[in-house]
Amino acid sequence: MSLTEKMKCPLCEYSTTSLKAFTSHYQLHRNVANFNFPCGIPGCNRNFRKYTGFKSHVYRDHRFIRSSSCLADVTVSCHCQIPFCEFKCCNLAELLSHLKSHIVQHTEITCPFRNCAKTFSVKSSFSSHISRCHRDRNISYISPAVVQPIVQMDDASSMDCTTDDHVNAEHMSDSDNEIDFMVTSETDSNADSELFTRNLALFFLKLQSKFLLPASTIQSIVEEMETIHNLGLSVVLKNLSGQLLNLNFDDSEVKTLLRDLFDNSPFHLSNTRELRTHQTRQTYFRTNFKYVCPTQVYLGASLLVKWL
C-alpha cells in the first residue's frame, strides 16, 4: 500500500503528504454547502457528506497511517499464526485464502479479526462467519498479532515516522491531530487566515439562511463568541507568558510577542473586520459567495384582508 503521493484538497490549493494535516485542513471547509469530503488516501474512493463522517472513516479505517507526519512508503505485512507456517502476504484476501487452505489440510484456525477468538475446522463455516460477522473487510480490522505496518524510509529526514506511531495511531486524540497540523502545515499563514474567515462566514451564513435566525440573534452570537474567545485566548497567552519567562526570555519581548499574537488572532480579526456587523457580513457574502440578498415583496392589503 504505497502512500508517497500528495493528497490535494479539491476546494483550494492545499496539498500535503501528511494525513493528519490533510484531515485537520478539511475543518476549514466543514461549512461548505453540498460538498462531499473525499478520503485523501490513494486508492480509497469513499466520499462523505459531513466532515465528522470523513474524520471517523480516517480514524477507523486508516489507523495504521493516519498518525504519520510524512507518509513514507507503508507496507502492511500479514503473517500466518499457525505454528511453523512461514506464510506472509500484504493483503487481506491472500491471508483469508491461505487460512482456508489450512482448514482443507485439517488444521484448526483462529479468526484473524480483532476481538474475535472463534476457531474453525470447516471451510464453509469460516467463509460464512467472515461474510456474516466481518462484512467490512478492511486490513485495519485485522488483529495486531497477525498484521503490522512496515515503514520504509526515503531519507534521514523521515526518521520521525516510526512503526510504533502507526501501531498506536488508534490512541491518538483529536488534540494531537490539531497540534500536529499547526506545526506541520505546508500553507502560509495568510492563506490559512483567509480560509478561516471564509469558513466562519459560511457558518454565519448557515445560521441566517438554513436556520433562519434573525440578524439581531446572529449579531449577539458573534459578540458573545468574540468575548468568550478573547477570554480563553487571554488564559492561554498568560500561561505561555509564564512558560517563556521561566525560560529566561526578556519580559518586554514576551509582552510584544503576546500582544502580536492576540491582535493577529484570525477569529479576532474576522469578527472585528469583515464579519463585524450584519451589513459587513452581507457585503462579504455577496463578494465571496454566490449569494443573493433576500428582497421583501409587498403583497398588498387586499390579499391580507381576503385571507383574514
The per-residue pLDDT for range 147-159, each reduced to its tens digit, is 765 544 444 333 3
Residue 35's pLDDT band (cuts 50, 70, 90) = confident
More confident residue, 88 or 20: 88
Condensed to tens digits (0 to 9), the pLDDT of residues 189-230 reads: 677 889 999 999 999 999 999 999 999 999 999 999 999 999
- pLDDT (0 to 100) of residue 152: 45
Percent of the chain with pLDDT over 70: 75
Compute the mean pLDDT over every residue in the chain, rounded to the nearest whole number.
78
CA distance 155 to 157: 5
CA distance 71 to 17: 6
Q: Which of 39, 263, 66 is nearest to 181 (CA)?
A: 66
**Hey, how many other C-beta atoms are within 10 angstroms of the C-beta on 173?**
8
The β-bridge relationship of strands 73-79 and 88-89 is antiparallel
Least confident range from 62-66, 162-166, 175-179, 185-189: namely 162-166
CA distance 62 to 23: 12
DSSP 8-state symbol, 144:
T
- pLDDT (0 to 100) of residue 170: 38
Segment 52-60 shows an average pLDDT of 83
Specify whether the CB–CB gap between 161 and 151 falls below 8 A. yes
| Amino acid letter for position 55 | K
- pLDDT (0 to 100) of residue 261: 92
Is residue 2's pLDDT more than 80?
no
Provide, for the chain, the percentages of residues in helix, strand and coil under a 3-state DSSP scheme, each rounded to the nearest 5: 55, 10, 40
Segment 125-140 shows an average pLDDT of 78
Q: Which of 192, 202, 189, 188 is nearest to 274 (CA)?
A: 202
Tell me how far CA of residue 174 lies from CA of 20, 90, 167, 178, in angstroms: 10, 29, 17, 6
Specify whether the CB–CB gap between 56 and 159 falls below 8 A. no
| 37 class by beta-carbon count within 10 Å (0-12 exposed, 13-18 middle, 19+ buried) | buried
**Hey, how many other C-beta atoms are within 10 angstroms of the C-beta on 134?**
18
- pLDDT (0 to 100) of residue 137: 65
Beta bridge partners of 74: 151
**Hey, how many other C-beta atoms are within 10 angstroms of the C-beta on 297?**
6
Segment 78-90 shows an average pLDDT of 85
Output the nine-digit C-alpha cell for 213.
435566525
Domain boundaries, the chain: 7-72+153-184, 74-148, 189-288
- pLDDT (0 to 100) of residue 99: 92
Tell me how far CA of residue 295 lies from CA of 209, 220, 222, 277, in angstroms: 13, 23, 24, 19
